[in-house]
A and B are shown apart, each in its own frame.
Chain A
């Protein structure tokens, strides 16, 4: 999976859990929380949807890795690749 594909996975999840947010101009390097109204309940849902849809586990100590789209891609892409057997 490319990092851009990984970002799209996260954006798709946010689009479903926060349909009232405008996602057309999300800046990948800026914290998600600073660009839209996402609270801890919403971040819990991002984590849970990653598990439900993709089988990706994000332990609580790593939640901060999901702060921006860039950091999501850094953190999650290897996890996706590990699932599909790529290294």
Chain B
């Protein structure tokens, strides 16, 4: 039982970033405690069980995958900083992914963990854009994306300097936005470059058992380093005195003091904990949220003819609109994930088929529905989202083949996300404004995680590492 009331560092939230920060600090002898309101670790990348069956949330694929021996990339930095052997994650590579645009996915670009495949697909589909695309890739490769104080720049403008075909432009933006953009329509170029590298120049992989493998490794490291955590133990308030966080008040009513406080719960969410009558929240609330449908199948997706694609990013319209929908869901574009289609090794297959589809959603249209309406709308949109996504996969033998193979389904909405993660507006990628240096209105209170601005689960862990290093460990 962890009952001290004083720590060197208190961390709010046991997601990927909070755990990574905790490992660093505990490893170097700091007395650390992580406070988590939920009963499970992982935050936005977690898992849950229904009737003995485990469902992953968040993670479709771990981005930033590079093979052993490739150095100087985010995955390598992460493994070194957390003293993790890459075999512990046991990552299995994707087969192939696609970006499919047009009402039936007529224009399709394949990509794998070998960038040459994507480059040749782009050149074949857009021969007039070949030189421009290569110039863009060079600009991305040479961009210093780890700088904590680079001036922001529009990625749309930067890309248009090299790529003049709006279809190719949208096809490049679609996966990068879906896998990490908190802003509508455009991205900051630094974020674009990070995501371009993470998805196209590096790649996708997944542990056989999914995200829980990553969490298990992080927890074991944290525990071995002497870190403490308190679950079902949320933080209600951060007290401020003379510009510093002087104490944190837990849901239980207990008070904790710490020299440093790291919050992974989001910038506006953190503001709310500090809020006094004198301080206005400094960050706009997030606008983008998502729904996801999950179907568990009684057979491998390959038996339905869906054995090739790991991830498919789709859009049926003339332009790609990455904006908050006015309706509850925008099924025109989205992401299909078939976790069975990673290469787990000869004869090694997931025990059941899994078919997931993610689409943009409007939190406010879901938030206040009475329960009966909420359930009815969920069923209606479940069918609509799957119908939309199936247009971008090989046709099934019969119209009801998917339904016939389905054992069970689940679906999360913005309301689910807000409920289980505490993120305002059901946000996945946080607020639109990022705080690269992790600073807040209080001197010894820092942000890590989505609102610090490194993306994806590798980014989340690097965020925790960077903030622990920058604000605490480097200062001795």
Chain A interfacial positions (CB closer than 8 Å to B): 16-20, 37, 39, 41-42, 44-45, 48, 51-52, 60
Interface string of B381-416 (1 = CB under 8 A from A): 000000000000000000000000000000000000
Which residues of chain B have C-beta atoms less than 8 A from A51's C-beta?
28
Which residues of chain B have C-beta atoms less than 8 A from A48's C-beta?
28, 473
B77 touches A41 (CB 8 A): yes
Provide the main secondary structure of the chain A interface.
helix
A20 touches B71 (CB 8 A): yes
Q: Could you say which of B37-45, B79-87, B181-189 contacts chain A?
A: B79-87
Instruction: State A42–B76 Cα separation when bound (angstroms).
Output: 11
How far, in Å, is A58 (CB) from chain B's closest CB?
10
B469 touches A41 (CB 8 A): yes
Instruction: State A19–B83 Cα separation when bound (angstroms).
Output: 9
A18 touches B469 (CB 8 A): no
Give which listed residue, A19, A37, A39, A52, contacts B28 with CB less than 8 A.
A52
Some 10 contacts from A to B, beta carbons below 8 A apart, are A17-B80, A19-B80, A19-B85, A20-B69, A37-B71, A41-B80, A41-B469, A48-B28, A52-B29, A60-B474
B469 touches A39 (CB 8 A): no
Instruction: State A37–B70 Cα separation when bound (angstroms).
Output: 10
Which residues of chain B have C-beta atoms less than 8 A from A17's C-beta?
80, 83
A-B contacts, CB under 8 A, total: 36
How far, in Å, is A51 (CB) from chain B's closest CB?
8
Smallest Cβ-Cβ distance to B79: which chain A residue: A20
A16 touches B72 (CB 8 A): no
B76 touches A20 (CB 8 A): yes
Which residues of chain B have C-beta atoms less than 8 A from A41's C-beta?
77, 80-81, 465, 469
B152 within 8 A of A: no
B83 touches A16 (CB 8 A): yes
Which residues of chain A have C-beta atoms less than 8 A from B474's C-beta?
44, 60
Interface string of B55-70 (1 = CB under 8 A from A): 0000000000000110
Instruction: State A16–B85 Cα separation when bound (angstroms).
Output: 10
How far, in Å, is A66 (CB) from chain B's closest CB?
15
Instruction: State A45–B24 Cα separation when bound (angstroms).
Output: 10
Which residues of chain B have C-beta atoms less than 8 A from A19's C-beta?
80, 85
Instruction: State A20–B71 Cα separation when bound (angstroms).
Output: 9
A44 touches B83 (CB 8 A): no
Give which listed residue, B29, B71, B72, B469, contacts A44 with CB less than 8 A.
B469
How far, in Å, is A34 (CB) from chain B's closest CB?
14
Instruction: State A37–B29 Cα separation when bound (angstroms).
Output: 26
Smallest Cβ-Cβ distance to B29: which chain A residue: A52
Smallest Cβ-Cβ distance to A18: which chain B residue: B80
Instruction: State A29–B355 Cα separation when bound (angstroms).
Output: 56
How far, in Å, is A59 (CB) from chain B's closest CB?
9
Which residues of chain B have C-beta atoms less than 8 A from A60's C-beta?
474
Instruction: State A17–B77 Cα separation when bound (angstroms).
Output: 10
Instruction: State A48–B475 Cα separation when bound (angstroms).
Output: 11
Smallest Cβ-Cβ distance to B73: which chain A residue: A37
Given contacts A19-B85, A20-B68, contact A42 B28 (CB under 8 A): no
A39 touches B81 (CB 8 A): no
Instruction: State A45–B474 Cα separation when bound (angstroms).
Output: 10
Which residues of chain B have C-beta atoms less than 8 A from A39's C-beta?
72, 77
How far, in Å, is B301 (CB) from chain A's closest CB?
34
A37 touches B72 (CB 8 A): yes
Given contacts A20-B71, A41-B77, list 19 more A-B pairs with CB under 8 A. Answer: A17-B80, A17-B83, A18-B80, A19-B80, A19-B85, A20-B76, A20-B79, A20-B80, A37-B71, A37-B76, A39-B72, A39-B77, A41-B81, A41-B469, A44-B474, A45-B80, A45-B81, A52-B28, A60-B474
Which residues of chain A have C-beta atoms less than 8 A from B69's C-beta?
20
Instruction: State A43–B68 Cα separation when bound (angstroms).
Output: 22
Interface string of B73-111 (1 = CB under 8 A from A): 000110111010110000000000000000000000000
Smallest Cβ-Cβ distance to B85: which chain A residue: A19
Instruction: State A44–B469 Cα separation when bound (angstroms).
Output: 9
Which residues of chain A have C-beta atoms less than 8 A from B68's C-beta?
20
Given contacts A20-B71, A52-B28, contact A42 B473 (CB under 8 A): no
Interface string of B434-476 (1 = CB under 8 A from A): 0000000000000000000000000000000100010001100
How far, in Å, is A17 (CB) from chain B's closest CB?
6
Which residues of chain A have C-beta atoms less than 8 A from B473's C-beta?
44, 48
How far, in Å, is B239 (CB) from chain A's closest CB?
31
How far, in Å, is B210 (CB) from chain A's closest CB?
25
Which residues of chain A have C-beta atoms less than 8 A from B83's C-beta?
16-17
List B296-334 residues whose CB lies under 8 Å from chain A. Answer: none
Which residues of chain A have C-beta atoms less than 8 A from B81's C-beta?
41, 45
How far, in Å, is B92 (CB) from chain A's closest CB?
19
A42 touches B469 (CB 8 A): no
A42 touches B29 (CB 8 A): no
Instruction: State A15–B19 Cα separation when bound (angstroms).
Output: 24
Which residues of chain A have C-beta atoms less than 8 A from B28's C-beta?
48, 51-52
Which residues of chain B have C-beta atoms less than 8 A from A52's C-beta?
27-29
Those 3 A-B pairs whose CB atoms lie nearest each other, nearest first? A37-B71, A37-B72, A48-B28
